[in-house]
Structure formats: structure tokens, C-alpha cells
Amino acid sequence: MKRELVRNEALGESYYSIDHDSGLKIYIYPKEKYSSTYAIFGTKYGSIDTCFRLKGQKEYVKVPEGIAHFLEHKLFEGEKEDAFARYARTGASANAYTSFDRTAYLFSCTERFAESLEILLDFVQSPYFTPQTVQKEQGIIGQEIKMYEDNPDWRVFFNLLGALYKNNPVRIDIAGTVESIAQIDADLLYSCYRTFYNLHNMALCVAGKVDVNEVLEIADKMLKKSEKQEIERCFPEEPSEVNERRVVQKLPVSLPLFHIGIKCDYKEMTLTEVSAMRALLQILAGESSKLYNELLDEGLINSSFSFEFFEGRGHSAVIFGGESMNSDKVEGKIIEAIEGFKKNGIENEDFERAKKSLYGRAVSSLNSVENIANGLLNSHFSNREFFGVFNSIAELPKEDVVRQLHENLDVNRIAISIVEPVENSK
């Protein structure tokens, strides 16, 4: 077992990076003065992983959409007792999630940490599926899918992804469809589990009031050694242009919702490139920007306005969202602001302000054990060093931000998704 202490002298912070003999990567971030502990056990397997094979196999396997999320639900259900009932006895607060590119199981606690960690490592490594329990779960998740079909915030987001992407599986709802989950059976679940829940494809991250040796003792006791295997994933080719320019849906909302996206050419980005893009968005649409204040003063947006750089395996886009009575005018103002920066350049003052804002938020995130553990997991699956984000912001050159502006904010690759109130329907 290899153990390394990773330290950032400027921040006065450190964590342990451990290559466990089982094949699992473990990160432990002790915060001695904290009263709580947060642990997350994740696998690099999400909703977009519907086509794959193990290295050496001839044929790719194509599985139904929504199976990663389905598998997440089923793992909590043990042969004798479900994991939530076990956690209830330790007092831990437990949850799980499936995203586009990962599935994660987590808990937080203030006491009986060791017992809760044993539960986490046990049930995630102990799949139990039968035809009867799979059929029952199909009904439960089917209801969940129908519920999200009527959720305005969910629909405005996924309608935008469908407008931006023609073929990439990121356009498909994480839970799949009622039709796709009907194709799932116990054998398929076991097949996906064996492929993606190999410990070499996973990571455990723990932050808070924790003893490193205690975590490793539990890991030694609970982890089942696995043989390393290489997963090859296949994604369909994606055209550079957007799939659809504009999508409108009517749902019961009090104010119209909008999501505006600019499709970027996908490539594996360095931390510096990601930080440059985030700085660019802060300059363009942050609370001190000309765009934000114009939109606010004209009553085109309210405090719900947000923006993000949406990136993952095989996809990247810039997304703006919020509520507005005139979403098309908001889109026009965003395009105008982008073209203005391309023509006139970025002021040094705006650039420095954005850097300070990003760095301040990054540092403040270290006050949350949840943010730390999730950040460690994200860094691991992105092949980026956790403290690297701080250095990438502190040392960020303005030229890199300008490059992102010209390379990735192409207003010809913009799409808009709007959810309008039903009563406006004619």
C-alpha cells in the first residue's frame, strides 16, 4: 500500500492519497477541529456509459438508458436488510446520486463513524438482484421518471441539452425512460456491476474528524481485492452545430424559465483551461459585470439568474439560466456582451476581480467537509490534482481567458430552452 501526504503550503492544508492493495484509490482529508465527518464512495460510471466493452473483448455492449441510476437504487436493497435501515442504527445521514459520468454513495455523521463506513463499504460491494425486486424497482423508477417529466427546472435543463446535442447521450435523462428501464433485468445489472464497480474504477474520499489509520484498518477489513481491468467506452460522433435552435415547453410555472447554452468543441481540458473559462464567465455575467446589471436594471432577470461551465466526458457547454418575461431579449443581451468583449477586449480590472472572486470561493469551500470530499472525488475522476485548482487560479494569465473567449464562445452555436406558463397557451 502506497501512502502520500499531499500538502499545499500557501493554504496550510493537506490530505492523504493512498493506493490501497485492493485496487481502490483512497483520499483522506483530516479536519481536526471539525465535529462531523463525510465519506463518499464513487465509481466512474454514469448515465452516459451505455456503450462499452472491456479491453480485449471484440464487441461493444449496448445497455438500456437509465441503467446506472437503476443500479444505484438497487444497491441499497440488501438480501436481508436495506442500507438505510442499517444507517438508522448508527445515526448517519446517508444518500446517493447518479450523474452523467459517475455514481456515488455517501454519508455524514458526528459519531459512530467506523460503523457507518463499514456499512458503506459493505453494501456497495454486495449486489443482490432478483427478477422480482427488479420488476418492483421498475415501477418505482417509472413513477420517478414521470414526476421529472412535469418538473419545470428539470425540463428546461434537459430540453436545452436535447437542443445542444444531437447524438451525445448527455441529452438523455439520467433516469432513462419508462421504455428503456423496462428492458433492464437482473443479469444486465450484474453485468454492469461487474464492469464498473471494480475497485480500480472507484475511489473513496473521507473528510472531517477522521483518523487515517482507522480508515485504513476498516478498508483492509472490508475491501475485496479486484483484478485491474480497462474499460473502453464508445460515444457517437457529435456534429459541431447545435441540434435545435429553440425549444419551448408549457408547464405550470408562475414565471417563464430559460436556459441558454453555447456548445463548445469537446476536448480534455487542463485545470488552467477550466479556470480560464470560469473566470471568463465571471467577467461576462458575474454580479459586478455590465451585462448582469443591465439585465437586472431592465427587469429581464431576477436573483435566480445563474451561469456555469458544464463539462464532462465527451461534452462541454456554457449555460445561463433563470426566470424572465423576455428570455429572447436576455439571449440577445448575452450575445451582444460576448461580441463586445471579442471586439474591445477584457479590462485588466475585470480580470483581476474575477480571479480574486474565484480564488476566494475556492478557499472558502475548504470550510465544508462535504465540498472537500466531493472535490477530491471530482479531481480523481477528472485526473486532476485537488490543490491544482488553487494554483491554476492564482497563476492564471489573462491571455488564457481571452483564448477561451475566442475559441469557445461561438454565438453561432447557441440554443435556448424556455418553459412558459400554461395559461399563456393560445
pLDDT in tens, 328-373: 999 999 999 999 999 999 999 999 999 999 999 999 999 999 999 9
Domain harbouring 195, CATH code? 3.30.830.10
Residue numbers of the domain that contains 81: 2-233
Per-residue pLDDT at 147 exceeds 90 = yes
Confidence of residue 74 (pLDDT cuts 50, 70, 90): very high
For residue 83, count other CB atoms closer than 10 A to its CB: 21
* Among 146-150, 183-187, 386-390, 416-420, the least confident range: 146-150
Q: What is the reported pLDDT for 426?
A: 42
Per-residue pLDDT at 167 exceeds 90 = yes
* Average pLDDT of the segment spanning 289-304: 97
Examine the fold and report which residue of 184, 206, 233 is the final residue of a domain before the chain moves on.
233
CA distances for 229 relative to 118, 197, 224, 232, angstroms:
25, 11, 15, 10
The DSSP secondary structure of 165-211, one letter per residue, reads -SS-GGGS-TT--HHHHTT--HHHHHHHHHHH--GGGEEEEEEES--
pLDDT in tens, 196-240: 999 999 999 999 999 999 999 999 999 999 999 999 999 999 999
Q: What is the reported pLDDT for 425?
A: 43
Q: What is the reported pLDDT for 423?
A: 75
CA distance 215 to 16: 11
Same domain, 258 and 388: yes
CA distance 320 to 420: 17
pTM: 0.95
Which residue shows C-alpha cell 464532462? 312
The answer to whether residue 238 sits within a structural domain is no
Per-residue pLDDT at 38 exceeds 70 = yes
Domain count, the chain: 2
Q: What is the reported pLDDT for 248?
A: 98
CA distance 423 to 426: 8
**The C-alpha cell that represents 248 in the structure block:** 419551448
Same domain, 201 and 288: no
Q: What are phi and psi of 312, to 5 degrees?
A: -170, -175
For residue 416, count other CB atoms closer than 10 A to its CB: 24
Per-residue pLDDT at 182 exceeds 70 = yes
Residue 360's contacts (CB-CB under 8 Å, 6 or more residues apart) are none
Q: What is the reported pLDDT for 80?
A: 84
* Average pLDDT of the segment spanning 259-272: 94
The answer to whether residue 112 sits within a structural domain is yes
The answer to whether residue 318 sits within a structural domain is yes
CA distances for 238 relative to 195, 208, 316, 367, 395, angstroms:
26, 42, 12, 40, 34
The answer to whether residue 239 sits within a structural domain is no
* Average pLDDT of the segment spanning 397-415: 97
% of the chain at pLDDT higher than 90 = 96
* Average pLDDT of the segment spanning 21-27: 97
* Average pLDDT of the segment spanning 287-311: 97
Confirm if 314 and 267 have CB atoms less than 8 A apart. Answer: no
List active site positions: 72
